Amino acid sequence: MAADPFILFDRWLEEARSAEINDPEAMALATADRSGQPAVRMVLLKGHGADGFVFYTNERSAKGEQLAANPQAALLFHWKTLRRQVRIEGPVERTTAAEADTYFASRARDSQLGAWASDQSRPLDRRDTFEARFEQVKQQLEGKEVPRPPHWGGFRVIPERVEFWSDRPYRLHERRLFTLGDGSWSEGLLYP
Q: Are the beta carbons of 32 and 66 closer than 8 angstroms?
A: yes
d(CA 79, CA 17): 10
Q: Which residues of the chain have pLDDT under 50?
A: none
Whole-structure pTM value: 0.94
Q: Which amino acid is at 94?
A: R
- Four-residue CA torsion sign, 81, 1, 28, 171: positive
Q: Where are the domains of the chain?
A: 5-107+150-190
Largest CA distance in the chain: 59
What digits encode the pLDDT tens for the residues 18-38? 999 999 999 999 999 999 999
Query: How high is the pLDDT of residue 1?
Result: 54
Fold of 5-107+150-190: Pnp Oxidase; Chain A (2.30.110)
Catalytic residue among 87, 94, 171, 176: 171
Query: How high is the pLDDT of residue 3?
Result: 73
Specify whether 87 is catalytic. Answer: no
Query: CB-side exposure of 37: number of CA atoms within 13 Å?
Result: 8
What digits encode the pLDDT tens for the residues 117-140? 999 999 999 999 999 999 999 999
Q: Are the beta carbons of 94 and 156 closer than 8 angstroms?
A: yes
